Amino acid sequence: MVKRYANLALVYAVIAMIFGVFYREFTKLNHFTGQTNLSVMHTHYFMLGMFFFLILMLVEKSFRFSDHGVGRILIVYQIGLNITGIGFLMRGLTQVWAAELSRGMDASISGIAGIGHILTGVCIVLLLLKIRKQAD
Protein backbone atom coordinates (compact mmCIF):
# COMPACT_ATOMS: atom_id res chain seq x y z
CA MET A 1 0.00 0.00 0.00
CA VAL A 2 2.88 2.38 0.67
CA LYS A 3 3.91 2.28 -2.98
CA ARG A 4 0.29 2.76 -4.10
CA TYR A 5 0.05 5.89 -1.93
CA ALA A 6 3.33 7.17 -3.36
CA ASN A 7 2.08 6.57 -6.90
CA LEU A 8 -1.20 8.35 -6.18
CA ALA A 9 0.71 11.30 -4.69
CA LEU A 10 2.72 11.52 -7.91
CA VAL A 11 -0.41 11.36 -10.09
CA TYR A 12 -2.10 14.15 -8.14
CA ALA A 13 1.07 16.28 -8.19
CA VAL A 14 1.08 16.06 -11.99
CA ILE A 15 -2.66 16.86 -12.14
CA ALA A 16 -2.12 19.86 -9.84
CA MET A 17 0.67 21.18 -12.05
CA ILE A 18 -1.42 20.70 -15.19
CA PHE A 19 -4.28 22.70 -13.66
CA GLY A 20 -1.86 25.40 -12.51
CA VAL A 21 -0.54 25.82 -16.05
CA PHE A 22 -4.06 25.60 -17.48
CA TYR A 23 -5.30 28.35 -15.12
CA ARG A 24 -2.45 30.67 -16.00
CA GLU A 25 -2.53 30.11 -19.75
CA PHE A 26 -6.32 29.94 -20.12
CA THR A 27 -6.90 33.22 -18.28
CA LYS A 28 -4.07 34.87 -20.19
CA LEU A 29 -5.44 33.63 -23.53
CA ASN A 30 -8.88 35.01 -22.66
CA HIS A 31 -7.45 38.32 -21.29
CA PHE A 32 -9.12 37.61 -17.95
CA THR A 33 -7.75 39.43 -14.89
CA GLY A 34 -10.47 38.87 -12.26
CA GLN A 35 -11.02 36.17 -9.67
CA THR A 36 -11.87 32.68 -10.87
CA ASN A 37 -12.35 29.29 -9.27
CA LEU A 38 -9.76 27.91 -11.67
CA SER A 39 -7.12 29.32 -9.32
CA VAL A 40 -8.09 26.96 -6.48
CA MET A 41 -7.91 23.77 -8.53
CA HIS A 42 -4.11 23.81 -8.36
CA THR A 43 -4.03 24.03 -4.57
CA HIS A 44 -6.90 21.58 -4.06
CA TYR A 45 -5.13 18.89 -6.07
CA PHE A 46 -1.82 19.55 -4.33
CA MET A 47 -3.27 19.48 -0.82
CA LEU A 48 -6.13 16.98 -1.13
CA GLY A 49 -4.29 14.87 -3.69
CA MET A 50 -0.53 14.90 -3.40
CA PHE A 51 -0.05 15.88 0.27
CA PHE A 52 -2.97 13.72 1.40
CA PHE A 53 -1.46 10.58 -0.12
CA LEU A 54 2.05 11.44 1.05
CA ILE A 55 0.72 11.71 4.60
CA LEU A 56 -1.21 8.44 4.21
CA MET A 57 2.01 6.82 3.03
CA LEU A 58 3.80 7.88 6.22
CA VAL A 59 0.88 6.87 8.44
CA GLU A 60 0.67 3.48 6.71
CA LYS A 61 4.36 2.88 7.44
CA SER A 62 3.73 3.61 11.12
CA PHE A 63 0.34 2.00 11.79
CA ARG A 64 -0.37 -0.46 8.94
CA PHE A 65 -4.03 0.58 8.94
CA SER A 66 -4.90 -0.25 5.32
CA ASP A 67 -7.31 -3.07 4.58
CA HIS A 68 -10.02 -3.79 2.01
CA GLY A 69 -12.33 -1.21 3.61
CA VAL A 70 -9.69 1.49 3.33
CA GLY A 71 -9.39 0.76 -0.38
CA ARG A 72 -13.10 1.41 -0.86
CA ILE A 73 -12.95 4.59 1.20
CA LEU A 74 -10.07 5.86 -0.92
CA ILE A 75 -11.95 5.14 -4.16
CA VAL A 76 -14.87 7.24 -2.91
CA TYR A 77 -12.39 9.90 -1.69
CA GLN A 78 -10.84 10.18 -5.13
CA ILE A 79 -14.27 10.30 -6.79
CA GLY A 80 -15.21 13.13 -4.42
CA LEU A 81 -11.96 15.00 -5.07
CA ASN A 82 -12.44 14.78 -8.81
CA ILE A 83 -16.12 15.74 -8.63
CA THR A 84 -15.00 18.81 -6.68
CA GLY A 85 -12.43 19.51 -9.39
CA ILE A 86 -15.08 19.23 -12.11
CA GLY A 87 -17.29 21.67 -10.19
CA PHE A 88 -14.41 24.15 -9.88
CA LEU A 89 -13.56 23.72 -13.55
CA MET A 90 -17.14 24.37 -14.68
CA ARG A 91 -17.47 27.39 -12.38
CA GLY A 92 -14.09 28.77 -13.44
CA LEU A 93 -14.76 28.40 -17.16
CA THR A 94 -18.07 30.21 -16.83
CA GLN A 95 -16.37 32.97 -14.84
CA VAL A 96 -13.63 33.49 -17.42
CA TRP A 97 -16.10 33.42 -20.30
CA ALA A 98 -18.52 35.68 -18.35
CA ALA A 99 -21.31 33.24 -19.20
CA GLU A 100 -24.81 34.16 -18.09
CA LEU A 101 -26.10 31.23 -16.05
CA SER A 102 -29.66 30.51 -15.11
CA ARG A 103 -30.33 30.15 -11.39
CA GLY A 104 -30.73 26.41 -11.87
CA MET A 105 -27.43 26.02 -13.71
CA ASP A 106 -25.64 28.18 -11.15
CA ALA A 107 -27.04 26.07 -8.33
CA SER A 108 -26.16 22.86 -10.18
CA ILE A 109 -22.51 23.84 -10.51
CA SER A 110 -22.37 24.74 -6.81
CA GLY A 111 -24.11 21.48 -5.97
CA ILE A 112 -21.58 19.44 -7.92
CA ALA A 113 -18.66 21.00 -6.04
CA GLY A 114 -20.57 20.60 -2.78
CA ILE A 115 -21.19 16.89 -3.34
CA GLY A 116 -17.50 16.41 -4.03
CA HIS A 117 -16.57 18.23 -0.83
CA ILE A 118 -19.04 16.14 1.19
CA LEU A 119 -17.63 12.88 -0.19
CA THR A 120 -14.02 13.89 0.54
CA GLY A 121 -14.93 15.13 4.02
CA VAL A 122 -16.78 11.97 4.99
CA CYS A 123 -13.94 9.82 3.68
CA ILE A 124 -11.35 11.81 5.64
CA VAL A 125 -13.34 11.24 8.84
CA LEU A 126 -13.69 7.51 8.08
CA LEU A 127 -9.95 7.21 7.44
CA LEU A 128 -9.12 9.04 10.65
CA LEU A 129 -11.39 6.66 12.58
CA LYS A 130 -9.61 3.66 10.99
CA ILE A 131 -6.21 5.11 11.84
CA ARG A 132 -7.28 5.88 15.41
CA LYS A 133 -8.57 2.32 15.83
CA GLN A 134 -5.28 0.88 14.57
CA ALA A 135 -3.22 3.24 16.76
CA ASP A 136 -4.80 1.85 19.96
Task: Write down the domain spans for the chain.
Answer: 2-135
Closest CA to 41 of 84, 100, 3: 84
Reported pTM: 0.93
Q: Band of the pLDDT at 135, cuts 50, 70, 90? A: confident
| Tens digit of each residue's pLDDT (9 = 90 or more) over 37-62 | 999 999 999 999 999 999 999 999 99
Q: Band of the pLDDT at 68, cuts 50, 70, 90? A: confident
| Tens digit of each residue's pLDDT (9 = 90 or more) over 98-118 | 999 999 999 999 999 999 999
Measure the CA–CA gap between 77 and 29, rounded to whole angstroms. 33
**45 in Cβ contact with 89 (< 8 Å):** no
